Structure 1
Amino acid sequence: MTTKTDTAVGTVTVTPVRSRRDWAAFSKVPFVVYASDRNWIPGDIADVGTMLRKPSEKTSGRMTSQAFLAYRGSTLVGRIAAIADLVFIAHYDEPTAYFGYFECLDDVEAAHALLDAAAEWATAKSLTTLVGPMSPSLLWSAGIVVHGNDIPPLVGMPHNPPYYAELVESWGMTSVKEFHSFYHDDPHSLVQTKPFERKYAMGQRWKARSSVTIRPMNDATFDEDVEKLRVLYNSAFSSFWGFTPVEPDEIQELVATMRPILDRDIVLFAELDGKVVGFVMGIPDVNKAALGAVRSRFGILRDLHTIARWRGPGGRKHRTHVRLDMMFVDPECPDKGTSALLIFELFQRIHDRGYNSIEAAPVLADGGWFRSVRASYPVDPSRTYRIFSKTIRP
């Protein structure tokens, strides 16, 4: 598949990624797009090699994809991946394709040509809707940053130039979902302020009489804990927008990307009668260390330099911020105060561990969490992420 768009300043050509050289160019595109962006941190959240280029047999059984490159003349200007999430399609019986790993210069013709190529690939597979960006799914990285892209990205969350939303909207895509993040300097102090006074008092009373116990992740039973997390995730998120059941190898791969930076003391399980009924994870924001690391296209070099800055002498100055992620409770848990117990315990531990600030993300804009946050803490989100959709019937 090759698409050409003629313009007054040259020709945009979109070609499928096939060869080793093509994949090298695919990895190079972000270095072109973010050449002057001081806030950008190299590296895709979900690895291109294991997700797109050489997926495992299990990954191939869950999704199929095709990557594309855009050139203006001989100049590399963009990339995209068209993705068919076979689990999503079967789970919802919806002929939907994703686009992801989208990066492009501020070039409308190039962006449209890339989206055209993704849509053409999808329609050839009888898929009728294009949704994204999903890189490669909601479990990993999703959405275009439409507010808050002038600051360094939050660990594990996307980052992009401010013009991306305009590029996809001009192609005819419309917003289908929004997620937010919320920032605060000292969450332990926050829940003791006047707006939270009543809820904090209720939480303390609930804790005194609750049979729920809170414990951190255990290195000795790490794999068992991860499996318990997966089972609970599939139960708690079954009605969440875009949910698909997570397999053991998927959660293991996701956790493996975070394991080098995890602080086990702020990865918490709630248990009742010996059963895991709730979970919340604080992720130390390694991006402060990553911002100062080398910008090499060799990922292993970037990672080693980042970890050295993170764990080496002076690393404590980077470990100040925490992302609150994956807070959920078993919907059949009889103790309805479990979520509050987890949050209060996490905030206390973050304070005790010497972290200075927290950011909760992603928070679904039309979900219960968002309404709860706005009711108690009526401030504007620090960032907003938007997912787009378009019908692409031939």
Structure 2
Amino acid sequence: MTVTITRRSDVDVRPVRTRRDWARFRGVPFLVYRDDPNWIPGDAADVGDILVSPSAGTRSRITTRAFLAYRNGRAVGRIAAIHDHVFDRQYRASTVFFGYFEAVDDPAVSHALLDAVAAWGRARSLTTVVGPMSPSMLWSAGVLVHGNDIPPLVGMPHNPPYYADHLESWGLTGAKDFHSFFSEDPHTLVQTPIFARKYEMGKRWKARSSVTVRPMNPATFDEDLERVRVLYNTAFADFWGFTPVDADEMRALAATMRPVMDPEIVLFAELDGKLVGFVMGLPDVNRAALGAVRSRFGLVRDLHTLLRWRGPGGRARRDHVRLDMMFVDPSCPDRGVSALLIFELFERIHDQGYRSVEAAPVQSDGGWFRSVLASYPVDPTRTYRIYERPITP
């Protein structure tokens, strides 16, 4: 397929083709965030595994094209156009996603990159631009529109505040918002008067429930991971933007998290030997990564981060937990599984010496969001937004 080079003002956008192009693609964030003390290098889903040398499984799910924006011969922005075949089959849609978006503070650069995505999408008869997705909801999605001035939560996006303005001035509008909620001491929180009734109900439910809750067993990691994948695909079938997760994609995601997992706060709820619920507390390794070297070599960054995480003084950095991936089998007859998991998780977080927790991403119009606000009226710590725009001629 021929891709036309896009020109806006003095900005040229060109497809990424060579090894040197890919080096520039990886280097753009170091220009964008050079003065941002909260930025942590690295993409949630690796550029090499997704865009440069995708596996056969990845190629069967998505088709991509990466672009670079140049000004005076210097790369000042990047973006990837993504056609998710699984998503289009699932929703009978014709969508081109954009992801891996980074750009300097100049709307002309962002607009030229989005023009390139739209042109690529139209050439494939796609009719709507949606994003950012890098490359999907499972990995990294959305633009941070509130909470840019604090260090990013592990596994969640971080970007300059001007990104939303650039996207909206191109004509994109908000499609879906997600939030994070922070608690300084979750174990104490659930015992405060505002939660007292629910806490007592939870204890009574636990006493009479046949559901058992256990932590992750490293010896059965692979078997449990497959059970989690199957339940994930069942529980999130009606979740906005969901697409079924393949075994290789779940293994790839788990591989990025396993080095920093704490088995004691990864919990499985089982009923008669069947997995009916899951919740993962993920220690916020970003507390260590924020002080690691900003090397362009990912291996150097990762090793330094792990040294700060596991080495002398590392325990002091392991004080914050992201509450992620909580889901329950919708057919489970015991309706108290989610409460059991939350109460058990908060107790274990306290027992393991963690001091704070942040739940993310929480869908703005989901039932859990409404129940949180009903019980604990508090403003979100961060807000992430996914955008869309029709691109039919």
Q: Is TM (by shorter chain) over 0.5?
A: yes
Residue aligning to 1:24:
23
Residue aligning to 1:50:
49
Secondary structure at 2:213 match in 1: strand
CA distance in 1, matches of 2:106, 2:52: 26
Deviations 1:106-164 (A, max 9, x none): 11111100000001001111110000000000010000000001000000000000000
Secondary structure at 1:241 match in 2: coil
Secondary structure at 2:241 match in 1: coil
Deviations 1:240-273 (A, max 9, x none): 0011111100100000000000001100000000
Deviation (angstroms), 1:56: 0.2
Matched to 1:4, the amino acid is: R
Unaligned runs of 5+ in 2: none
Aligned pairs for 1:309-324 within 5 A: 309-324=308-323
Deviations 1:69-128 (A, max 9, x none): 001122221000000001001111100110000000111111100000001001111110
Deviations 1:357-385 (A, max 9, x none): 00000000000110011011100000000
Matched to 2:234, the amino acid is: S
CA distance in 2, matches of 1:158, 1:286: 14
TM value normalised by structure 1: 0.99
Secondary structure at 1:328 match in 2: strand
Aligned pairs for 1:73-152 within 5 A: 73-152=72-151
Residue aligning to 2:40:
41
Deviation (angstroms), 1:186: 0.6
CA distance in 2, matches of 1:297, 1:185: 34
CA distance in 2, matches of 1:61, 1:358: 37
CA distance in 1, matches of 2:155, 2:264: 19
Secondary structure at 1:157 match in 2: coil
Aligned pairs for 1:211-230 within 5 A: 211-230=210-229
Aligned pairs for 1:1-394 within 5 A: 1-6=4-9, 11-394=10-393
Matched to 1:185, the amino acid is: E
Equivalenced residues, count: 390
CA distance in 2, matches of 1:76, 1:60: 27
Secondary structure at 2:76 match in 1: strand
CA distance in 1, matches of 2:378, 2:32: 32
Deviation (angstroms), 1:223: 0.1
Unaligned runs of 5+ in 1: none
Deviations 1:258-301 (A, max 9, x none): 00000011000000000000000000000010011000000000
CA distance in 2, matches of 1:31, 1:289: 19
Deviation (angstroms), 1:5: 1.4
Deviation (angstroms), 1:195: 1.0
Pairwise CA RMSD: 0.5
Moved beyond 2 Å, runs of 4+: none
TM value normalised by structure 2: 0.99
Matched to 1:184, the amino acid is: S
Matched to 1:276, the amino acid is: L
